[in-house]
């Protein structure tokens, strides 16, 4: 038996004794006795890391798994840190001398168990808990933290991950996921906690159940996003199909749509059923076309204008509309963000609502076409790191100085208002329906509206390549890949010379000027760094490389421009031709990067 396996066996043996429950003890014993120790090693080779966003992992017994013991220790560490900050006077709105949190969960298996575990431990530490009565969207948890003037919160969710996963998103007093220095502060406290440190006995007097009233307040906040009510009233019969993919949007999204004035809303009945096994999809990820199949089938039957989905915790969205042939086409995350930014700028300007202090946000791996749109219209646009906590950080930095009117990222997320500080599918779904209504009011489909943007600003195709490397060896391989890219950057990509390199880990930008590389520093909020590399070629190609912070994969983002004549009508055939031309370049780009 090698040394690594000895350490794993020793760690697992602890879980075969009390205080671990009988079922957990038995499951661990079976793993230890199995001839194949792969499952055992993966469950115990490390402790599931409490990262800057919280926890996410496969459910089951073990130190590297999501279970009530790992959740309990994480919560105890989070509670310890909150009480430490309170003692140092670090919170703004502590009421009655008691720290308060909001706790929620989505539809995933063990979600209620984990949420109640979190609530019990917070209350056992003297912290006031507002616990949602049942599953709720992630953005509603963010909203409730702000609305109730709490100091933090937890939502138990693994977002769009497969059914085997669950997770734990930690929030701070502004309703955003935790940022520095508090992220590291929480991590340090969590790492100190052992199971014997956990205070399990709940103080029921400190746990308050919330639900319907918060739903109403949140729905009214979502309604504040509306830009053009008159157009919606004219197009109130826009034919909409919606699916929550078995998740937390099932009640609130149709309610919000009706509050905006839309009256022709249909739901996919099979996917309205709350089920953490997600029986009607391979994976509940709106980025996967397969997940939209049932919605499109119902849309065809009902002659719908568009089909919309939210993921299990209702922060991400997916949009399907008809092309010029009447066929269903999925609008990808970059295109979704392009339409949001274009519509917000142009229609707020048209209605006299756009003011010089307003600004928009995108992430560094999101389409550069948004930059073209904002610059052409004279609207401030900032670039932030991937993750909505960075968009929330920008809102916090400029609060009281400038007005936030929207921001998003390519992974099917958008936030059109500042009452929430995480991506928000209920408000984003309502807004995309307003955009579709505006398009219809002007004799266009949503697809035509997208083509109009390409006509005005040119075409480029964004493609994401995910290289999945699970387990311990996979994590090591991903680290080695990033090390190689950093030490041996490509000189050419797909036959085009690389003329700019950005390394967000060192905040160095190197630009090729007259045959010589010139170095300068990249300015990012809080001078924060991130393990992201970007390469720009002389032909306008952009490649971003980023290991996922929540999943066992490394992501490659390609932005591939295709030459078009600006202002010339851009048709569906043009779209198909340009898309094919861009996609034809992908193999050469991958070959240049050895992926």
Return the HEC string of 167-222: EEEEEECCCCECCCCHHHHHHHHHHHCCHHHCCCCCCHHHEEEECHHHHHHHHHHH
Token code pair at residue 594: 């050895």
159 is catalytic: yes
Closest CA to 370 of 285, 458, 240: 458
Instruction: Find how far residue 80's CA is from the centre of its chain.
Output: 27
Token code pair at residue 462: 């964004």
Residue from 123, 159, 425, 530 carrying the catalytic annotation: 159
Would you call 590 exposed, middle or buried from its count of C-beta atoms within 10 A (0-12, 13-18, 19+)?
middle
Contact 233, 261 (CB under 8 A): yes
Residue with token string 């609305």: 147
Q: Which helix (H) or strand (E) holds 591?
A: helix 586-593
Sign of CA dihedral 386, 388, 389, 395: positive
559 - beta bridge partners? 462, 542
Q: What is the DSSP string of 99-111?
A: -EEEEEE-SSTTH
Secondary structure class of 535 (helix, strand, coil): strand
Q: What is the DSSP string of 406-464?
A: EEEETTTEEE-SSSSSS--HHHHHHHHHHHHHHHHHTT--HHHHHHHHHHHH-EEEEEE
E strand residue ranges, 11-133: 54-58, 100-105, 128-132
Return the HEC string of 454-497: HHHHCEEEEEEEEEECCHHHHHHHHHHHHHHHHHCCCCEECCEE
From first CA to last CA, the distance across the chain in angstroms is 35
Closest CA to 479 of 505, 500, 507, 501: 505
Which residues are annotated as catalytic?
A: 159
């Amino acid at each position: 038996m090698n040394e690594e396996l000895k350490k794993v066996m020793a760690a697992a043996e602890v879980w075969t004794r009390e205080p671990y429950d009988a079922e957990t003890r038995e499951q661990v014993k079976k793993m230890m006795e199995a001839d194949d120790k792969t499952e055992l090693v993966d469950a115990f080779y490390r402790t599931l890391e409490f990262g800057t966003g919280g926890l996410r992992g496969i459910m089951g017994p073990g130190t590297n798994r999501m279970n009530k013991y790992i959740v309990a220790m994480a919560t105890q560490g989070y509670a310890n840190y909150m009480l430490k900050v309170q003692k140092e006077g670090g919170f703004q709105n502590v009421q009655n001398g008691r720290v308060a949190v909001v706790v929620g969960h989505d539809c995933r298996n063990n979600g209620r168990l984990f949420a109640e575990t979190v609530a019990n431990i917070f209350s056992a530490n003297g912290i006031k808990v507002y616990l949602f009565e049942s599953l709720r969207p992630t953005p509603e948890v963010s909203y409730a933290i702000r609305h109730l003037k709490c100091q933090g919160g937890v939502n138990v969710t693994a977002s769009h991950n497969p059914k085997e996963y669950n997770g734990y998103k930690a929030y701070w007093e502004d309703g955003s996921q935790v940022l520095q220095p508090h992220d590291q502060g929480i991590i340090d406290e969590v790492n100190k906690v052992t199971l014997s440190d956990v205070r399990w006995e709940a103080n029921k007097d400190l746990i308050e159940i919330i639900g319907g009233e918060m739903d109403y307040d949140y729905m009214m906040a979502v309604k504040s996003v509306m830009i053009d009510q008159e157009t919606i009233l004219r197009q109130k019969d826009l034919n909409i199909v919606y699916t929550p993919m078995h998740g937390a949007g099932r009640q609130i999204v149709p309610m919000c749509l009706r509050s905006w004035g839309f009256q022709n809303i249909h739901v996919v009945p099979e996917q309205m059923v709350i089920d953490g096994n997600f029986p009607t999809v391979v994976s509940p990820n709106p980025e996967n076309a397969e997940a939209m199949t049932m919605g499109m089938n119902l849309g065809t039957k009902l002659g719908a204008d568009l089909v919309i989905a939210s993921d299990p915790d209702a922060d991400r969205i997916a949009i399907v509309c008809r092309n010029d042939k009447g066929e269903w086409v999925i609008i990808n995350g970059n295109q979704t963000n392009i339409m949001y930014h274009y519509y917000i700028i142009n229609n707020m300007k048209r209605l006299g609502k756009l003011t010089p202090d307003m600004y928009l946000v995108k992430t560094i791996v999101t389409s550069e076409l948004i930059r073209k749109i904002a610059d052409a219209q004279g609207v401030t646009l900032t670039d932030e790191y991937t993750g909505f906590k960075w968009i929330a950080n920008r809102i916090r930095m400029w609060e009281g100085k400038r007005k936030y009117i929207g921001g998003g990222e390519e992974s099917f997320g958008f936030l059109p208002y500042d009452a929430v500080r995480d991506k928000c599918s209920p408000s984003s779904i309502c807004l995309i329906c307003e955009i579709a209504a505006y398009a219809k009011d002007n004799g266009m489909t949503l697809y035509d509206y997208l083509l109009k943007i390409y006509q005005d600003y040119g075409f480029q195709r964004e493609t994401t390549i995910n290289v999945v490397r699970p387990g311990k060896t996979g994590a090591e391989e991903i680290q080695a890949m990033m090390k190689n890219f950093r030490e041996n950057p490509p000189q050419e990509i797909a036959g085009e010379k690389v003329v700019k390199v950005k390394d967000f880990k060192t905040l160095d930008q190197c630009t090729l000027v007259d045959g010589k590389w010139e170095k300068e520093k990249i300015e990012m909020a809080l001078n924060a760094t991130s393990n992201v590399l970007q390469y720009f070629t002389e032909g306008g190609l952009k490649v971003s490389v980023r290991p996922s912070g929540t999943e066992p994969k490394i992501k490659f983002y390609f932005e591939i421009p295709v030459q078009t004549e600006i202002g010339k009508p851009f048709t569906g055939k043009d779209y198909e031709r340009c898309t094919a031309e861009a996609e034809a370049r992908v193999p050469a780009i991958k070959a240049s990067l050895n992926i």
